[in-house]
Structure 1
Amino acid sequence: MTGEDAFDTPGRGYFGPDAVSWHLHGDPAMWAAGICSLYLQALHPRAVAGVVQNSDFQRDPLGRLRRTSAFVGLATYGGRAEVDRAAARVRHVHSILTATDPRDGSPIRLDEPELLRWVHCAEVASFASVVRRGGFPLTGALLDRYFDEQRRGAGLVGLDPATVPGSRREMAAYFARMRPLLARTEDAELIYRFLHRPFPEWWRSGVNLAYRPVGHLAYSLLPGWARRIYGRPAFPRAAVTAGLRAARATGLAVPGAIRWRFPADHVLRAVERLGEPAYPSARAVAALGAA
């Protein structure tokens, strides 16, 4: 069962096990993809100003990533009513938050379609690129399917799905249009430094030292044009790919049944509703491509 008819099946939510999103979002490489997406999002001057001026990420170092991961997990694996309630809360928060563009003092609304679209595209493009580079069997056709599916997620946060790229070609054209607007601002530099050393020195300096290679690996997974905007060196490409694939192949040394409990247990609750065949699986998405 595919398409809109799938939404009528109890417990399937907005995707279901026959969606590419279902399997891609459960992949071990999503940890690196999520961090990579934050680096990319920070290159939009208005979007990053909204984050810096409205977030307590420096006091709660894992909070934003955890909240974003939890919402992505719920939107992917949750029942439709639960997802709709969470999405309504997200839209409400975006509707009441504002910021000021530090370049010219102009006001910023966090629910501006341009900003929502940038955050969405930077997120899903990073997810797909990083997980695919890690060895996930994402063919070109499946990548088109993934971007098209993720228009549903864009609709949840308040975007008109018709205005969101839904294929490789449309996503590439979108980033080509956006690149002249992107910049390495002071806010982007703040995010860069934070993602390399997210924990306060007085708390756990040893954790910062251990985490730093992880943060730089995620930075090194950015597209070349994005790294050129940052102007910072990256790890060698071959080492990045090999390290990511090794980490993914071992499941980050964490069994799926444990990994899927964090930051919330959306995957396991979906399996309770739909049965064991609903576990996310690279093998299952490969079968989708062959169908």
Structure 2
Amino acid sequence: MRFRKLLSGAPDGIPPWLGVVAEGDKPGFFLPTDAPWVVHRDFSTLVGGIRALLMQALHPGSLAGVAQHSRYEEDPLGRLSGTIRWLTVTTFGSTDAIAQEASRVNRMHTRVTGEYETSTGERVGYRAADPKLLLWVHIAFMESFLRAHQHYSKAPIPGGADAYVALWSRSVTPLGLDSAPMSEAELNQVLDDFYPELVVSKKTKDVVAWIKNAPLPKSAKPVYRLLFASAAASIEPRFQKLLGLNPPPLWLLRPVTTSLLSLMRFAIGPESPIEEAAIDRLKRAGVL
């Protein structure tokens, strides 16, 4: 129950977006047999979420948006629940719910503007809705959840990595990004293209240190330390070096973290109210 409360931000542990996923009689973007559904239902997303925050901090534009406009220091769990809401609704919700959620995110993005310093020292303006910044956030997010699943989950991805990358590209279309990688090879190429733009500043180091020592409840900290180390270990060495990370080796962490996540799933139980609500809606829609 403490775990559910932590992730949902709700006193009773029931995610406030459960009703959003359940309502209506329309299909969504994905079915239970699709790669994004399989990946995002898995507890490896706990590692993927931490990894995504670390990767996103490497771009000075996305870092500036977080540093200048996010409430992560004052209300980290509130920001966490907001991100989980978008991921959950986009993965499991109806097309109407996805449109409404995208509208909420787009309204927030209109307020996120400012300036940042590039890798060459130039000052440039940014908007959160800029296609290039959206692309970086998207690929950092997508690659992180993909690698976390590949390393720390026993569930095979239907269609493999290419299917996950191609299908999850739909998630950013409502946010205004019309061009995204459609295969694992394209994803890797876009990461290579972004590499020269990545910057590590004092603020980057501060954010990484904050992520490493996030102000979570004491009962959650031992598990979080393992999840952080696992997230760091799954990052490519060139990005680890930029971030100043020196985690234990993957071969050591993989069995420990995979077993822990399986134990957490067993302890919480096999039922998933979000998935059950989504499946019931899909049955009403006639696609299951």
Residues 127/211 of structure 1: CA separation in 2 closer, same or farther (3 Å cut)? closer
Partner Cα separation in structure 2 for residue 254 and residue 155 of structure 1: 34
Question: Residue type of the partner of 1:11?
Answer: K
Question: Residue type of the partner of 1:249?
Answer: S
Paired residue for 2:130?
A: 112
TM-score, reference length from structure 2:
0.81
Partner SS for 1:62: helix
Deviations 1:204-223 (A, max 9, x none): 56755663343333222222
Paired residue for 1:237?
A: 250
CA RMSD for the aligned pairs? 2.3
Residues 85/225 of structure 1: CA separation in 2 closer, same or farther (3 Å cut)? same
Tell me, yes or no, if structure 1 residue 165 matches structure 2 residue 165. no
Structure 1 residue 125: Cα displacement:
0.8
Instruction: Identify which range, 20-29 or 233-242, moves more after superposition.
Output: 233-242
Partner Cα separation in structure 2 for residue 219 and residue 244 of structure 1: 13
Paired residue for 1:4?
A: none
Which of 146, 169, 188 matches 2:204? 188
Residues 217/135 of structure 1: CA separation in 2 closer, same or farther (3 Å cut)? closer
Which of 260, 263, 287 matches 1:250? 263
Instruction: Identify which range, 237-246 or 70-79, moves more after superposition.
Output: 237-246
Tell me, yes or no, if structure 1 residue 73 matches structure 2 residue 73. no
Residues 206/255 of structure 1: CA separation in 2 closer, same or farther (3 Å cut)? closer
Partner Cα separation in structure 1 for residue 218 and residue 258 of structure 2: 28
Structure 1 residue 239: Cα displacement:
1.7
Which of 12, 36, 46 matches 1:31? 46
Partner Cα separation in structure 1 for residue 126 and residue 107 of structure 2: 16
Residues 256/48 of structure 1: CA separation in 2 closer, same or farther (3 Å cut)? farther
Tell me, yes or no, if structure 1 residue 269 matches structure 2 residue 277. yes
Paired residue for 1:281?
A: none
Structure 1 residue 186: Cα displacement:
2.1
- 1:128-147 equivalent positions in 2, closer than 5 A: 128-138=146-156, 141-147=159-165
Partner Cα separation in structure 1 for residue 158 and residue 191 of structure 2: 18
Partner Cα separation in structure 1 for residue 181 and residue 154 of structure 2: 22
CA contact (8 A) 1:199 1:207 kept: no
Tell me, yes or no, if structure 1 residue 179 matches structure 2 residue 195. yes
Partner Cα separation in structure 2 for residue 225 and residue 65 of structure 1: 27
Partner Cα separation in structure 1 for residue 33 and residue 158 of structure 2: 17
Deviations 1:141-200 (A, max 9, x none): 42111111011101021101xx21010111111111111111222222122111111118
Partner Cα separation in structure 1 for residue 218 and residue 165 of structure 2: 39
Paired residue for 1:16?
A: 31
CA contact (8 A) 2:230 2:250 kept: no
Paired residue for 2:140?
A: 122
Partner SS for 1:216: helix
Paired residue for 2:8?
A: none
Structure 1 residue 96: Cα displacement:
2.9
Deviations 1:208-261 (A, max 9, x none): 56633433332222222210111221122212212221123324432242xx4x
Structure 1 residue 104: Cα displacement:
4.2
Identity percentage over the alignment? 25
Deviations 1:81-129 (A, max 9, x none): 1110110121122123212215544321111111100000110111011
Partner SS for 1:100: strand
Question: Residue type of the partner of 2:276?
Answer: L
Partner Cα separation in structure 2 for residue 20 and residue 206 of structure 1: 32
Which of 223, 232, 257 matches 2:236? 223
Instruction: Identify which range, 104-113 or 118-127, moves more after superposition.
Output: 104-113
* Structure 1: gaps of 5 or more residues: 1-8, 276-291
